[in-house]
Structure 1
């Protein structure tokens, strides 16, 4: 079963700005795509997203989803029931997350920071997937994309001062790998993607907190725009195969070690 004969239904979280907004930008260019985009607060939608919504009222729907609120996650199914075409979602792109307020090391991170990042970056994506899962089951596509980070890779560890963020992404990576194995027999294709060093408000805000050195040099040498990052990510998403499921991919199509 699919949403319709000609359309693909995308569910994208965290679309107010940055990578999530660029996903909506690119997906909506195809009039046969139907996009459900989530934001933390409907009263604070960015001008860019508002313009996209006004220009595409039939194939872009925006709903509120707060990752730190269990009640918001619990209300997701009720909202989806009213807008999902034929009860089918083809592609789930879990982008929403937070970086935290400052750079952190294991020796200087407080308990509340660990717990907040774990709740938002590690736990919420899985709880959201649980709500979207029945809609994906009805699709012939069944693609699930989690936006992760190289900082969550243990095998290719990079010595950046992002202990709480990196740990939250490492925990997310475990869930991604586990889900891919649990649902492989159902035809699901589930992967993690490192989007690259993307020039977003989050990067610009936190760049100055890093002391000059290897990590700052790495950012300067590798930073890319959201246009480049999402364009490359969509090439992976569009061409995703069963053999690629259960793996961690860099935005440029190379494999990353878990």
Structure 2
């Protein structure tokens, strides 16, 4: 008999940073099954951390996904269904993204805008389109997007991150729209700000701001482990009444 506490998570981008630490924490419970996507095949991964962990923890299953490739997105549902004893997804977590746009709006090249939009906004949405039927197989029906306060309009952060901020604003809009559209089917759709995190991308941004003499001393910088641990704590407290909300990693509510 299946325990009511058993949960299946699908995490986009579990090969590094916050995503890897989410996989590590959630797979620490044998009640959980964690299916995570990586770029590249498991035999030729771009980062070996999660592949090595999956060799130790048999409740981690790895699938290939490139958010910028239509064919890869088109195959994702079938890849997930091939995982052992698959019966559906309880929680969808989109954690993959890029942040490499420290330009002013009038100086941002078109290629940078498109790269960030495709990876940070469109890729997760198109992936959800394919995975949605697998979420309908379970009753939990939770959809979590790792966003950023950089995409907040009402809580605008006065730092030039052009394409990154715009892509996260687009993602935030999708969260609000999905929360309205999927509510009748019992879904809870939420966005999360993970904090200013010292991932490879985050540290690159911190270094850039320091070089430009932009004061970030008032911003708490946390490790990927700290961010993921705090996020998992908040994930566990999300209720249907939180549908359509935007939370900070510490559990406080943010603004779109």
Range into which the TM-score falls when normalised by the shorter chain: over 0.9
Tell me the residue number matched to 2:234.
236
Could you tell me whether the CA contact under 8 Å between 1:3 and 1:88 is conserved in 2?
no
Higher share of residues assigned helix: 1
Which whole-Å CA distance do the structure 1 matches of 2:17 and 2:136 have between them? Answer: 29
For structure 1, which runs of at least 5 residues remain unmatched after alignment? none
> 2:93 & 2:77 partners in 1: Cα distance?
16
The 8 Å contact of residues 4 and 86 in structure 1, kept in 2 or not, is answered as no
Q: State how far apart, in whole Å, the 2-side matches of 1:209 and 1:236 are.
A: 30
CA shift for structure 1 position 4: 6.0
Corresponding pairs, count: 252
Is the 1:22–1:230 contact (alpha carbons within 8 Å) kept by the matching residues of 2? yes
Provide the TM-score with structure 2 as the length reference.
0.94
Cα root mean square deviation, aligned: 1.6
Seen in structure 2, the aligned counterparts of structure 1 residues 3 and 73 have a Cα distance that, compared at 3 Å, is farther
Q: 1:31 to 1:107 in 2, by over 3 A?
A: same
Residue 34 of structure 1 corresponds to which residue in structure 2?
33
**Secondary structure in 2 aligned to 1:183?**
helix
TM-score (norm 1): 0.93
Per-residue CA distance 1:113-136 (angstroms, 9 max, x = gap): 111111111111110111111111
Give per-residue Cα distances to partners, 1:82-140, cap 9 Å, x unaligned. 1164431000100011112x411112101111111111111111101111111111211
Segment drifting more, 161-170 vs 237-246 = 237-246
The DSSP-based 3-state class of the residue aligned with 1:254 is: coil
Partner secondary structure for residue 93 of structure 2: strand
Gaps of 5+ in 2: none
2:20 matched to which residue of 1?
Answer: 21
- Aligned ranges 1:168-247 → 2 under 5 Å: 168-210=167-209, 211-214=212-215, 216-218=216-218, 221-247=219-245
In the alignment, what sits opposite 1:91?
A: 91
Counterpart CA distance in 2 for 1:192 and 1:18 is: 18
- Output the CA distance in 1 between the equivalents of 2:13 and 2:38: 5
